[in-house]
Structure 1
């Protein structure tokens, strides 16, 4: 029998996140209710916390958080894929599969893309469409917090697919925050030669740990573009460049890092209203293939989940801290401020609403930016 109320983090406005008593959700037709066994902090959630809203995902006065894994505690009528007691990973969205974009293989741009939030809570309701199209059963040997990495990795997998990344290619990744590190690690284990460009001194070690063959720190060189290109064959530039910093300056730099005929993925989303200036001759005469990636699809989520479950991905290295549900507002306030040089900020903090947080092994306490 489920309780009638639960503790949950509610976004009330800009930098106003509160843990409150709210009603426990009940499963409607086709829906599931999960006990939340692990939820992860995310750079997107930090942006939402800072701004008080997200243009597509949620507005104020809503339950908060979207990277989640848990155990089924209630099954709605007609939901036949899962049963009470199943360990599951629900993604945070599902497409309609009927609109123009879905029919043209662009489900991430679905006109009726259904988002779900509420990971930082004791229980979470999973809408029927997500249950049917974008929820996975977690193997008994896979920790919940490892499965919860699926959502951000699914976005990265889509970015890799869009740039047609393949083993043997050279890739430059701009940025060593959580997304940049996911790109570095995923590309490295897929057999790409990865070069990272980072800002902080401690990120040099982190990027190397996650698979970067070479790391350029901005403050250590006069010309970071030339320095990074020097690690590519004949200094011609990278086959693929991933921008994961989310600033116009990084967007502009990214184009200068690619070889002629190369691909550039402007993955990081700068704030609304910002603009970037590009050398039109460089784009035209270098025949550059410029992409921008948004979100994920059920197919890239499936691929990401399989990568995590395979054991090839060092999931534990991304999980650098734990916190209780009551600590969530403090965790996000702390994420607003970058720690001093030489200290180790969190890459991903694991929230364990259903039980006390477990310690994370110190050897996995790596350094990364929060956005």
Structure 2
């Protein structure tokens, strides 16, 4: 039987070392809440952290893993007034201090004391008081937990789109058709922007069109990808804005060459630390090109993203291409590293449902799952 003070959680111990463990049930302190996780989502950032074994800003192992979630309040700490047990909520993964230099300059995403929270791949998660106060939202009835959990990645995209200053009627190129690239396509299309997608694989073409791309250019041997993309823009002058969502020096260079004079490039994809990129300074200067890089989200962007999801305008259901139990998580991340590139259907996000595999059955699968993760 389940121990009254334990739960099942996925804990990251290092590079490609993700383990299911019994850990103590969280107890809320003053201002905090505990959320029973209804659904958590896989994420490209989590995959990078799994591959590297750490994230310099957000987590150092051993630590509970995962950060995109929605669920039901199961316990509240002293002084909590905005939430009650039984409330359906999205608890974002961070909250700013609103007192430092960057917060005072409307750059909360760069907060010097940005508080992160991890542990979504678990039966329960404790939400720190600052996140409860600033970045936890009530989910309307009728909105599925797995759809509401899309708020966090979409908030990053919303802020990136706002920072790019694209306007209705503009032409935007999105380089990359992973989960974030597809979100940029969809958010831009909903904002009235003409979207051209640059994709690598055959299985990404249909998804790019589904999420708003009017035209798609596929990368393959023998194609001048920059010329092929510019040919689709008005008078072949280049796009008004380009979103780079791949994170390689090559695609950063493409992005600069695809934008028009006076346009904006947003380097949204972050290459590994120490990466260097060579750009044509003559083109940048005489083309009056704006280079921008966007990181993370703000509470305002989270609310905009949440409204998009809950309004029904955002194709939330189409982003959930897989479903799994909490017991599947270590094997799932191992599979994500080695998945076939020849799949006929693009895998975007897998929804993890902790309630679908009871803790008392965990011992039956523990050894196999831990072995698969190593």
TM-score band, normalised by shorter chain = over 0.9
Contact kept? 2:326, 2:357, Cα under 8 Å: no
Superposition map of 1:174-185 within 5 A:
174-185=175-186
Secondary structure, in 3 states, of the residue corresponding to 2:184?
A: helix
1:87 pairs with 2:88: yes
1:267, distance to aligned residue in structure 2 (A): 0.3
Deviations 1:260-313 (A, max 9, x none): 000000000011111110000010000001100110000000000001111000
1:12, distance to aligned residue in structure 2 (A): 0.5
Q: Partner residue of 1:110?
A: 111
Secondary structure, in 3 states, of the residue corresponding to 2:208?
A: helix
Superposition map of 1:31-110 within 5 A:
31-110=32-111
Q: Partner residue of 1:14?
A: 15
Cα distance in structure 1, aligned partners of 2:172 and 2:9: 41
1:229 pairs with 2:230: yes
Cα distance in structure 2, aligned partners of 1:283 and 1:106: 25
Q: Partner residue of 2:368?
A: none
Cα distance in structure 1, aligned partners of 2:28 and 2:247: 38
Contact kept? 2:327, 2:357, Cα under 8 Å: no
1:356, distance to aligned residue in structure 2 (A): 5.7
1:267 pairs with 2:268: yes
Q: Partner residue of 1:249?
A: 250
Contact kept? 1:35, 1:72, Cα under 8 Å: yes
Cα distance in structure 1, aligned partners of 2:11 and 2:164: 37
Cα distance in structure 2, aligned partners of 1:221 and 1:137: 51
Contact kept? 1:320, 1:347, Cα under 8 Å: yes
1:221, distance to aligned residue in structure 2 (A): 5.7
1:323 pairs with 2:316: no
Q: Partner residue of 2:160?
A: 159
Query: Which stretch of the first structure deviates more once superposed, 195-204 or 214-223?
Result: 214-223
1:71, distance to aligned residue in structure 2 (A): 0.2
1:339, distance to aligned residue in structure 2 (A): 1.1
Cα distance in structure 1, aligned partners of 2:346 and 2:329: 16
Cα distance in structure 2, aligned partners of 1:175 and 1:205: 13
Q: Partner residue of 2:337?
A: 336
1:220, distance to aligned residue in structure 2 (A): 6.7
What is the aligned-residue RMSD (CA, Å)?
1.4
Contact kept? 2:207, 2:346, Cα under 8 Å: no
Contact kept? 1:338, 1:345, Cα under 8 Å: no
Name the TM-score, length of structure 2 as normaliser: 0.94
Cα distance in structure 2, aligned partners of 1:354 and 1:111: 36
Count of equivalent residues: 357
Secondary structure, in 3 states, of the residue corresponding to 1:213?
A: strand
Contact kept? 1:339, 1:345, Cα under 8 Å: no
Distance of aligned partners of 1:233 and 1:196 in 2 relative to their CA distance in 1, 3 Å threshold = same
Cα distance in structure 2, aligned partners of 1:340 and 1:158: 30
Q: Partner residue of 2:279?
A: 278
Cα distance in structure 1, aligned partners of 2:342 and 2:225: 20
Contact kept? 1:33, 1:74, Cα under 8 Å: yes
1:298 pairs with 2:288: no
Q: Partner residue of 1:168?
A: 169
Unpaired segments of 5 or more residues in structure 1?
A: 358-371
1:341, distance to aligned residue in structure 2 (A): 2.0
Cα distance in structure 2, aligned partners of 1:221 and 1:314: 35
Cα distance in structure 2, aligned partners of 1:251 and 1:28: 45
Query: Which stretch of the first structure deviates more once superposed, 212-221 or 16-25?
Result: 212-221
1:340, distance to aligned residue in structure 2 (A): 3.2
Name the TM-score, length of structure 1 as normaliser: 0.94
Contact kept? 2:204, 2:346, Cα under 8 Å: no
Cα distance in structure 1, aligned partners of 2:75 and 2:355: 16
Secondary structure, in 3 states, of the residue corresponding to 1:354?
A: helix
Cα distance in structure 1, aligned partners of 2:26 and 2:327: 19
Secondary structure, in 3 states, of the residue corresponding to 1:111?
A: coil
Cα distance in structure 2, aligned partners of 1:172 and 1:76: 47
Secondary structure, in 3 states, of the residue corresponding to 1:19?
A: strand
